[in-house]
A and B are shown apart, each in its own frame.
Chain A
Amino acid sequence: MTEASRCPRIAAPCPQPPQFAAGQRVAFCTLCQQQVHDLSALNASEQTALLARNTRLCVRLKVVTPLLAAAMALGSAAAAPTQLTPDPSADVEDMFETGLLIAPAAAMLPLFEPSELPESFDEAVAATPQTES
């Protein structure tokens, strides 16, 4: 299999991600022969624009989120039932994942990103959504 013929078929995650210097936005992956874009080095608008334009794209991204930390804690607790309380203060180091995204635009929709404008997600707890008529 030639390098060229592999380029569209790279599976995520990349086994040999390229190194990025601080502030570097693009690096070349010698394994997959593709440019790898560091999403964490782009601002939100650049990210959405980049991802929106490409249904297949090789990227490096930071994967730590508060919910990930929670999920990891829950997973640990499930694996060890004697310690059922997740530790919310547990430090989670920044982690990066590199690989090919397919249909990445869906992941970066503003709909699923936080906003600085005040809004609540909890009103529906007390109320019942309308039923179909």
Chain B
Amino acid sequence: MQIAALWWTLILSGSDSPVQPPAGTLIAHALELIQHCDGPAVVDLLSETDLQRLRMQALAARSAELDHPIFAGTGPYLLKQWRTQAAPLTEQQLYKDECLAYPSDLKAVAGALRPGPAWMHENRAWVPLLSADDDYFGLGLAMVLEQGQWRLSLHTHTIAHVQIRHPAHAALWQRIDAQVDVPYRCEDEKLPPPPEPQELDVVQLEAGLWEEDQANVWGYLQRQATRHYAGAPSATPTAVPPVARPSPSAQALWAQAVYSSLGFDDAPDHTSAQWERRLRNAVGYAQRAIDGGVDARELALPIVELAKWQLSRDLDSPANRQAALDILAPALAARASQALLMQALLLSDPVDGSKPQCTVAAEALVEAAASEALVEAAAGIDGESSEDGAEALIDLAVTIELDCPDPAARRPEVALRLLGPDVEDEDARTGQYIQCLLKQDEQQSCELPDYRTLAEAWSSHAEHQPWLSNVSLRPGRNYEETPDCD
């Protein structure tokens, strides 16, 4: 089956280029190289940019104290290794050391995936990798054509992370999570001095380190592949026949890609009907992905964004709270935090003049926070690091209890209990406000801090950066590589 798939790659291509796609044997060889961090043919397979980068890194490691991004994070570990090693460092060894040092989703699962038809533009090719059940979750091989030969663009592979975790692929996740268990090295790790100190031209050094992709050809090619496996139509004809069965993970990725495109410079104006159509398009694919088994929490952002759209379109179309709540339904069913926060705001501070349901909203948040805290604890996640985790849910519940539009429904004593015993340390002004409220005769002079108002909560909820959204912590992901810095 693997051989057949490789020949398929030879025959078909989603190319807009007359160049022949990478050969199947080459792709198989590249997968082996990535999977095992080793291979005698490294020099023949890696792009010149990658080889150059390896040489530069080794030179810098052994010659100078450089404050460069390539040596951040795990970098000092490699610096230490390369500075204490007897020269010369070969390209094969540099590749192997680097490959072993850095976790890579692709490295973890390369052996379990098969290549699909390559998507090409000029001298670049993206070879998507598919699971056994033809699901495409964004992994692939980036290749560049150099002097008539397709070569692996190594550093592009390290950005290949599984974005969508479909329940059907639990075994693949386990492999990925297992390799993340590499020890984290603190940046203050004591490094030996460079063994061969010399003056280096840093500008020249850096010029050779990175492959420029200003046009983002890789993103373009990845989107072509994603669109194809999502079953989404394209205005650009390709030689690749439509898929028989759309991939749920690709549909989820495509939903996110379409949603992300709303932040591009050439996106339609956000007050336009075209903007709304594109957002609905994204949500449509999100819904299909959810129907195909993808966790709705992965796709909450476009859903919440479309719900927001119902609240503020134009003067001729009043805010439609019920429509917003209806749109949130699939994300609420999956207990997505962003959707829960939005629902709570809509219940406690209705935009359509209906009666506030503050107690219902706050209690739903508290209940969700309890579940979220359990998930975070199980994943080893510090709640403070999640902008929409348990702490954010409690935070909004407190605000609702203190600033409900219906004064009779405000419950400062509940807010105080939610804030806990450390309220004076963490949020002194809120604590003072609550104590003031609890002294009945002084209520008129109590001053609610701005950051505890529902108006501020609305604004905070709106301040969302879509491109940062993918940073949000994913329940179940293993982030427990806690370093020992003591």
Contact residues of A with B, CB < 8 Å?
A: 2, 4-5, 7-9, 11-12, 25-26, 33-35, 37, 42-46, 48-57, 63, 65-68, 70-81, 84-86, 88, 100-117, 119-125, 127, 129-130, 132-133
Stretch of B2-10, B144-152, B250-258, B364-372 contacting A (4+ beta carbons < 8 Å): B250-258
- Which of chain B's residues has its CB closest to A34's CB? B187
Tell me which of B184, B213, B462 has the highest count of chain A C-beta atoms within 10 A of its own C-beta.
Answer: B462
New A-B pairs, 19, CB < 8 Å, besides A11-B385, A123-B234, A124-B284:
A11-B384, A25-B69, A43-B210, A44-B214, A49-B69, A55-B73, A55-B481, A67-B465, A78-B308, A78-B462, A79-B458, A84-B314, A105-B158, A110-B219, A111-B219, A116-B214, A122-B274, A122-B277, A127-B233
Q: Can you list 6 residue pairs at the A/B interface with Cβ under 8 Å?
A: A55-B73, A66-B264, A73-B270, A78-B345, A115-B223, A122-B274
Contacts of A78 in B (CB 8 A): 308, 311-312, 319, 345, 351, 458, 462
Interface string of B203-247 (1 = CB under 8 A from A): 000000111111111111011101000111111100000111110
List residues of B (440-486) whose CB comes within 8 Å of A's CBs: 454-455, 458-471, 473-474, 477, 479, 481-483, 485-486
> Whole-angstrom distance from the CB of A4 to the nearest CB of chain B?
4
Contacts of B194 in A (CB 8 A): none
Cβ B233 vs Cβ A52 within 8 A: no
Contacts of B217 in A (CB 8 A): 115, 117
Interface string of B24-58 (1 = CB under 8 A from A): 00000000000000000000000000000000000
Q: Within the assembled complex, what's the spacing in Å between the Cα atoms of A57 and B155?
A: 18
Contacts of B469 in A (CB 8 A): 107
Cβ B216 vs Cβ A116 within 8 A: yes
- Which of chain A's residues has its CB closest to B485's CB? A4
Q: Within the assembled complex, what's the spacing in Å between the Cα atoms of A12 and B75?
A: 22
List of 6 A-B pairs having minimum Cβ-Cβ separation, nearest first: A75-B462, A110-B219, A54-B73, A70-B270, A11-B384, A67-B263
> Whole-angstrom distance from the CB of B154 to the nearest CB of chain A?
10
Q: Within the assembled complex, what's the spacing in Å between the Cα atoms of A15 and B223?
A: 37
Cross-chain contact of A115 among B219, B243, B281, B482 (Cβ < 8 A): B219
Contacts of B188 in A (CB 8 A): 4, 7, 33
Q: Within the assembled complex, what's the spacing in Å between the Cα atoms of A78 and B277?
A: 21
Interface string of B303-329 (1 = CB under 8 A from A): 001001101111100110000000000
Q: Within the assembled complex, what's the spacing in Å between the Cα atoms of A96 and B437?
A: 37
Q: Within the assembled complex, what's the spacing in Å between the Cα atoms of A2 and B188?
A: 14
Cross-chain contact of A120 among B209, B235, B319, B454 (Cβ < 8 A): B235
> Whole-angstrom distance from the CB of B217 to the nearest CB of chain A?
7
Cβ B220 vs Cβ A105 within 8 A: no
- A130 with B219: in contact, given A88-B271, A102-B479, A106-B471 (CB under 8 Å)? no
Q: Within the assembled complex, what's the spacing in Å between the Cα atoms of A55 and B182?
A: 11
- Which of chain A's residues has its CB closest to B242's CB? A130
**In this assembly, does B93 line the interface, its C-beta being within 8 Å of a C-beta of chain A?**
no
Cβ A84 vs Cβ B318 within 8 A: yes
Q: Within the assembled complex, what's the spacing in Å between the Cα atoms of A43 and B211?
A: 11
> Whole-angstrom distance from the CB of A50 to the nearest CB of chain B?
4
Contacts of B210 in A (CB 8 A): 43, 45-46, 49
**In this assembly, does B186 line the interface, its C-beta being within 8 Å of a C-beta of chain A?**
yes
Tell me which of B121, B219, B313 has the highest count of chain A C-beta atoms within 10 A of its own C-beta.
Answer: B219
- A101 with B471: in contact, given A49-B69, A130-B231 (CB under 8 Å)? yes
**In this assembly, does B360 line the interface, its C-beta being within 8 Å of a C-beta of chain A?**
no
Cross-chain contact of B485 among A7, A44, A113, A133 (Cβ < 8 A): A7
- Which of chain A's residues has its CB closest to B262's CB? A67
Cβ B470 vs Cβ A110 within 8 A: no
Q: Within the assembled complex, what's the spacing in Å between the Cα atoms of A101 and B384?
A: 12
Contacts of A4 in B (CB 8 A): 186, 188, 485-486
Contacts of A5 in B (CB 8 A): 485-486
Cβ A110 vs Cβ B281 within 8 A: no
Contacts of A105 in B (CB 8 A): 158-159, 161
Interface string of B50-92 (1 = CB under 8 A from A): 0000000000000000010110111100000000000000000
- Which of chain A's residues has its CB closest to B186's CB? A7
Contacts of A124 in B (CB 8 A): 232-233, 258, 281, 284-285
Q: Within the assembled complex, what's the spacing in Å between the Cα atoms of A35 and B188?
A: 10
- Which of chain A's residues has its CB closest to B461's CB? A75
Cβ A84 vs Cβ B312 within 8 A: yes
Q: Within the assembled complex, what's the spacing in Å between the Cα atoms of A120 and B216?
A: 15
- A123 with B233: in contact, given A113-B219, A116-B215 (CB under 8 Å)? yes
Tell me which of A35, A43, A103, A112 has the highest count of chain B C-beta atoms within 10 A of its own C-beta.
Answer: A112
> Whole-angstrom distance from the CB of B176 to the nearest CB of chain A?
11
**In this assembly, does B112 line the interface, its C-beta being within 8 Å of a C-beta of chain A?**
no
Q: Within the assembled complex, what's the spacing in Å between the Cα atoms of A66 and B466?
A: 10
> Whole-angstrom distance from the CB of A14 to the nearest CB of chain B?
12
Q: Within the assembled complex, what's the spacing in Å between the Cα atoms of A86 and B234?
A: 32
- A79 with B246: in contact, given A49-B69, A53-B73, A110-B159 (CB under 8 Å)? no
Cβ A109 vs Cβ B462 within 8 A: no
Q: Within the assembled complex, what's the spacing in Å between the Cα atoms of A4 and B188?
A: 9
- Which of chain B's residues has its CB closest to A61's CB? B468
Cβ A8 vs Cβ B465 within 8 A: no
Q: Within the assembled complex, what's the spacing in Å between the Cα atoms of A49 and B68?
A: 12
